[in-house]
Amino acid sequence: MQTLSLIVLTSIVLYVVRLYVEYRRNMKTIRNYPGYRTFLSSSSIFANLLPQIPGIATGRLNLWRSKHDDFEYFGSDIFSVVNMWPTSNLSFRVADPVAIKEITSTRALWPKPVERYQGLKLFGSNIVVTENDEWKKHRRVANPAFSERNNRMVWEETVKIVNDMFDNDWRDRAEIEVDHCVNITLKLALLVIGSAGFGRSISWDNDLQIPPGHQMSFKDALHIVSVDIIYKLAVPDWAMGLTKKLRTVKLAFDELRMYMQDMINERRDTEKRTERYDLFSSLLDASAEDSDGMAKLSDSELTGNIFIFLLAGHETSAHTLCFCFALLALYQDEQETLLKHINTVLVDRRTPEYKDMPKLTYSMAVLYETLRLFPPVNGIPKKAAEDFSLSTSMTSGEKRVIPVPRGSVIILHVPGIHYNPKYWKDPHEFKPKRFLEDYNRDAFIPFSAGVRSCIGRRFSETESIAILTTIVQKYKIEIKDEPQFANETFDERRERILRCKAGITLSPVRVPLVFKRRVEGP
């Protein structure tokens, strides 16, 4: 018995020694570059359940909450994270635009750690979960779908959908109160992606009938998949039937898969092809058979990509617009400046057209400032494919070269760079005009950067500018008065209205607003 105990104790001691040796080796490799040093690995589930305990756990390194604070604490726009258990690992957080440009410009040296994204293969392989030649194939097929012709359609469909909301939901009322603005923006984004993404016009007021062979309408399936994807990602397949909610989510995913396959079959079997410019049709056309009779993408890859564009284009746009309206309601002077600009472009309150988009510079500035303050994705991971080094300047002015060993994880810290006072004066303030002046474009990465930047950026910008301009042109936006908050200061109100939580994307908690119809002049 004593011999067994001795063997167990010796094994534990040897294991701890090995961990410590690896930890010291990592520290020596990076020359003890400043950063977090903890026993528990930040990648372990247990460590993320704990609060931040110096030397023990970083807790969940909340990139949004810390913004640029951690970088200021460590005196550098790059800091390291070295952990010991269950394995000694090494990672870096980066808020230096020069380093970020170097990382995103050399994709082969800094690939995407696609293993972190395998959960997004729900409908098939796609542009997000692939790398190297396979990624190039997806990108090559997807590129033609995001064309100028498609962007024009996005604009026209978006304006039509907003006006449909005015006519059939708001019904010319003088005031529209909403308990949470995201309920409006999510539905707007849903209808836009349904029309411009799938080529299926869905009325604001009416649902579509459920076709034979289906148990749920396309609109409902699309909405549930967009809003409740977290359940599908977090709950194993065998447990998806345990509750009514989970069964509904599972049904929605099954239904959306069937609808997309129906659309593929229908459009392939149609003898006379109707000219369609929606994203789904464009992807289908771009993936037609090549000279060897081989489809460029399989059916599962087609549905995988359209699902990713749905996920990326629906929730992110909806949340950004919600933050946008919240900021304009808080900062009435900025809203008035935006309205005056819109009226100079759209004389006599005419309906905005796609050709007006380049002239709506203040609308774009408001959108960009919102994206700077509330970036949808807070951390963009990369991985060092080989031993490398990054250069940065310490707060003291000292230049440092940071060794980055092969396999190290690099997180492009989006709030860190968006709130970096070196590149943004008064970074916590809402100042859209900064985007009408010279600014460091490498310090603005809401759509990532480099060749793997968001392929749907123009789609998102077109949709958002059309919604923002059309609503502000006709309605004044204010914070909804609630008796329990009657005595709060502006700072307290701002904190309450802009409160958010980090999920798949950065999400507003509750934004109660009032939309007041503007009185037309003589």
* Alpha helices (runs of H) in 287-427, residue ranges in sequence order: 299-330, 332-345, 361-373, 414-418
Buried b / exposed e along 327-340 (16+ C-beta atoms within 10 A): bbbbbeebbebbbe
> Quick one: 349 and 477 in the same domain?
yes
Q: Distance between CA 397 and CA 77 in Å, rounded?
A: 12
Would you say 500 is a known binding-site residue?
Answer: no
- pLDDT value for 311: 76
CA distance from start to end of the chain = 98
Per DSSP (E only), the strands in 77-157 are: 78-85, 90-94
CA nearest 67: which of 502, 503, 508?
Answer: 502
Using CA atoms of 30, 31, 32, 37 in order, give the dihedral in degrees to the nearest 10: 20
> What is the 8-class DSSP label of residue 54?
T
Say if residue 264 is in the same domain as residue 401. Answer: no
Note the residue count of the chain: 522
Of 367, 391, 418, the last residue of a domain is 418
Q: Where in the sequence is the domain holding 402, given as residue range(s)?
A: 2-124+382-418
Is 23 in a helix, a strand, or coil? helix
User: Residues 30, 448, 121, CA angle at the centre, nearest 5°?
Assistant: 95
Please state, in angstroms and rounded to a whole number, the distance separating the CA atoms of residues 78 and 93: 6
pLDDT band at 444 (very low <50, low <70, confident <90, very high): very high
pLDDT of residue 480: 96
On whether both 215 and 324 belong to a single domain, the answer is yes
How does strand 35-40 pair with strand 78-85? parallel
Domain of residue 244, CATH code: 1.10.630.10
pTM: 0.91
Report the SS3 class of residue 280.
helix
In this prediction, residue 312 carries a pLDDT of 76
- Does the structure show a pLDDT above 70 at 290? no
Same domain, 221 and 73: no
Token pair recorded at residue 409 = 């994880």
Rounded Cα distance, 467 and 343, in Å:
15
pLDDT at 463 over 90: yes
155, 107: one domain: no
Co-location of 388 and 350 in the same domain: no
Is pLDDT of 49 > 70?
A: no
189 and 246 in one domain?
yes
Q: What is the pLDDT of residue 522?
A: 46
Is 326 a residue whose pLDDT tops 80?
Answer: yes
455 or 326: which carries more pLDDT confidence?
Answer: 326
Q: State residue 279's pLDDT score.
A: 79
- Ranked by mean pLDDT, the top range of 18-32, 388-402, 413-427, 495-509 is 413-427
Is it the case that residue 459 has pLDDT exceeding 50? yes
Over residues 293-313, the pLDDT tens digits come to: 555 888 888 888 888 887 777
User: Looking at residues 276-291, what average pLDDT do you find?
Assistant: 72
Q: Is the Cβ–Cβ distance between 360 and 352 less than 8 Å?
A: yes
The model's pLDDT over 76-117, given as tens digits with 9 standing for 90+, comes to 999 999 988 877 788 999 999 999 999 999 888 999 888 888
Q: List all residues 6 or more positions away from 450 whose beta carbon is below 8 Å from its beta carbon.
A: 101, 103, 104, 105, 107
Answer whether residue 207 shows pLDDT above 60: no
Of the listed ranges 59-68, 236-245, 484-493, the one predicted with least confidence: 59-68
Domains contained in the chain, number:
2
Cα torsion through 16, 22, 25, 31, rounded to 10:
-90
Could you tell me if 225 and 104 lie in one domain?
no
